[in-house]
Structure 1
């Protein structure tokens, strides 16, 4: 059993923008994107359904556009130093992302040995159209993060996230670092969290209570 464990999101957390959202925008018009977003907010379709509608109907030949896009996205300041410090403190880091394997591999594949685990959605491009593949797709979330968290044995869970997809992960954690949409949601719900701007902020906070 681990004393402490860190579960960190990828899109918009490790990266400076949501790359899954960015990839989605490559393949649909602004009008169609806005329509699907409104439907998700209203609850008429789930995130999983919206993602499948986009990616499962996109020709695999357009995969190269996504790869060109991801190379332009930056990782958030202090991430490499964060991994160094957590290793020194003996706190394992697990990446849990509803993002695509190919995107994660480009941006953080070089850190693979630093993670206790990496969980993501795969994108099958072997057929005419792309196909999202996830064994943790429950029809609502394309990757149910709490189900993955349950696979690990720990006393204290520390969550780092930024968006709607991190809400359930945050609810299942003891300490939550939140920014952007996730922070706004938790503030509205009156739930405690630690705000952060970059990974240097997280390093200092964890060193303070470790």
Structure 2
């Protein structure tokens, strides 16, 4: 197991007394971006909810269900981002908290099962590029073999780790 010094951890750079950890989808935003893509661009809400029930019944893992959900979205990744930017809004209470945290040197660290490029694009739109001080720990996106992420059926989630 490795260790890091405080200077290597972005949230520790200003020696804060407190750090705030939060989820992203449905917490900072009013709806879940991954559910939105699955329901509107992928196999739809009934199938997604069926997979959720299977996860709760311990029939399949969350990771497997989540991958199936995102794999059902054939839309090029850049178009997915554009669609999300048009449809996902900030939770009404978050802006005030965000401004307060920033003014009081309280770093906000986003811990999310979502994908960093989507989260960053939404933050930039909803809060402005000023939001770059927030650290994001989440999954990534990558091109499928022989594909480009910005072509139909060209991308997949790249999990942050094996958990």
The answer, yes or no, to whether TM exceeds 0.5 is yes
SS in 2 for 1:23: helix
Contact in 2 for aligned 1:48/1:137 (Cα 8 Å): no
In 2, the alpha carbon distance for the partners of 1:66 and 1:86 equals 27
* Aligned counterpart, 1:21: 35
| 1:60-209 correspondence runs (5 A) | 61=76, 64-65=79-80, 67-109=82-124, 110-115=129-134, 117-125=135-143, 127=147, 128-138=153-163
CA 1:129–1:55: 2 relative to 1, 3 Å = farther
Q: Do the aligned partners of residues 63 and 41 (structure 1) sit closer, same or farther apart at CA in structure 2, a change above 3 Å counting? A: farther
How many residue pairs are counted as aligned between the two chains? 137
Q: Secondary structure of the equivalent of 1:99?
A: strand
TM-score by length of 1: 0.56
Judged with a 3 Å threshold, the aligned counterparts in structure 2 of structure 1 residues 9 and 31 are, in CA distance, closer, same or farther, namely closer
Alignment correspondent of 1:32:
47
1:156-203 deviations in Å (ceiling 9; x for gaps): xxxxxxxxxxxxxxxxxxxxxxxxxxxxxxxxxxxxxxxxxxxxxxxx
Unaligned segments of structure 1, at least 5 residues: 139-210
Superposed counterparts of 1:53-64, under 5 Å: 53-56=68-71, 58-59=73-74, 61=76, 64=79
Judged with a 3 Å threshold, the aligned counterparts in structure 2 of structure 1 residues 31 and 80 are, in CA distance, closer, same or farther, namely closer
Tell me how far 1:34 sits from its aligned partner.
2.8
Point out the structure with the larger strand share: 1
**CA positional deviation for 1:32:** 2.0
Task: Please give the TM-score of this superposition, normalised by the length of structure 2.
Answer: 0.70
Residue 8 of structure 1 corresponds to which residue in structure 2? 22
Runs of 4+ in 1 over 6 A off after TM superposition: none
Alpha-carbon RMSD across the aligned residues, in angstroms, is 2.4
Once the two structures are superposed, what CA deviation does each residue of 1:100-121 show, in whole Å capped at 9, x if it has no partner?
A: 2232122213243332x21222
